[in-house]
Amino acid sequence: MGFKSVQDEKLWYSIGEVSSMLELPASTLRFWEKEFNSIKPRKNKKGDRFYSKNDISLLKTILYLTKTKGFTLQGAKNAMKDNLIKEIETATIVNTLQNIRRRLIEIREML
């Protein structure tokens, strides 16, 4: 489970971009949107979803809790409700460390 980095200059990301970034199917993102009230992507008239950086941060936290820590969706909901800030910080740290590891492996392969 690795996260691809989020570009800082964009304010909104399409569901396809977020799906690719988190390496999850779009259907999972739509399902999590129904399960977690805190995820509220904007929708245009056509119904296309656009996620903010905050939405992406919450999705990364859910992904971390379910895939890395092995929580069920209900367990992730409870953990986020009880310790949202701590869980977001932990997911952010894990994401940063995974990106550093990936870069170091790339550097090692170039040598």
> What's the rounded Cα separation, in Å, for the pair 34 and 55?
13
105 is a domain residue: yes
Nearest Cα residue to 4 out of 19, 21, 25, 16: 21
* CATH code of the domain covering residue 47: 1.10.1660.10
- Dump pLDDT digits (tens) for 74-97: 988 888 777 766 767 777 888 888
2 is a domain residue: no
Domain coverage including residue 90? 13-110
Report the number of distinct structural domains present in the chain: 1
pTM: 0.67
6-10, 62-66, 86-90: segment of lowest average pLDDT: 6-10
Nearest Cα residue to 85 out of 55, 63, 66, 57: 57
Are 57 and 88 in contact by the 8 Å Cβ rule? The answer is: yes
Are 27 and 33 in contact by the 8 Å Cβ rule? The answer is: no
39 is a domain residue: yes
* pLDDT beyond 90 at 20: yes
CA–centroid distance for 27 within its chain: 14
34 is a domain residue: yes
